[in-house]
Amino acid sequence: MRKKFRTKVSPWTVCKWARKFGSIKHLAKHLGIQFSKIWHMDEMFIKAKGKIHYIFAVIDDKSKVIALHISERRDIKSAITCLRKAKNIGGKPEIIVTDKWNAYPRVIRKVFGRRKPKVKHIVAHFRKELVVHNGKIHALSNNRIEGWNSWFRRIYRGMRGFKSLVSFQRFLDIFGLLWNLKSDAWEFLEGL
């Protein structure tokens, strides 16, 4: 009978691995992290170094973090950057749920184009929209990502901040990976 060994790894060690051995996409793929085809996208403001910054977030309907992006402005360029990161990591979704910010339809078209199969865009801010998809009825709202945003804000309040946006972005990338490891990946690693 083969013995199973368990090793505790600190978050900082995983951060160093990511820097040394490859991208977040590579690590996520290697660890067996799978994302669903229903995504939620939102932005939130955060105070860093006495200034307001924006974190754009894309999560799936299982609350797995696909992409996080820090920006000094809430603009289309930053939203496109975040959604491109998500596309690079998680592929192409079938549905994206957002709030009422009027830039999201342009952002989604810019990243995923207008060709078939089109990505369905659902605007559902704090209220559920019923959507028929793949023969099933889904009640979709942006409550999932709004809840995630408030949870992240509580975590961030306990931190001392960052010296630069580059270090903040590195933290967000690793944080997203570690967030996802708390679920699927541990089961994957135990099976090795």
The neighbouring-strand residues paired with 39 are 60, 96
Burial environment of residue 77 by CB neighbours within 10 A (0 to 12, 13 to 18, 19 or more) = exposed
pLDDT at 3: 67
Q: Give pLDDT tens digits along the chain (192 positions).
A: 566 666 777 666 766 666 666 666 676 777 778 899 999 999 998 887 778 889 999 999 888 999 999 999 999 999 999 999 999 988 999 999 999 999 999 999 999 988 777 899 989 877 888 888 788 888 888 888 888 888 888 877 777 667 778 878 888 887 887 788 775 444 444 443
Whole-number Å distance between alpha carbons of 28 and 50? 33
Task: Give every strand in the sheet of 51-60, ordered side by side.
Answer: 65-71, 51-60, 38-48, 95-98, 120-123
pLDDT at 22: 62
Q: What angle do CA 24, 17, 182 make, to 5 degrees?
A: 65
pLDDT at 8: 74
Q: Report which of 173, 151, 189, 188 is spatially closest to residue 63, judged by C-alpha positions.
A: 151
pLDDT at 106: 94
DSSP state of 184: I
**Element (DSSP H or E) covering residue 167:** helix 165-180
The neighbouring-strand residues paired with 58 are 41, 67
pLDDT at 190: 43
pLDDT at 188: 42
pLDDT at 99: 92
pLDDT at 112: 92
Residue 183's alpha-carbon distances to 64, 112, 143, 145, 178, in angstroms, are 9, 28, 20, 17, 9
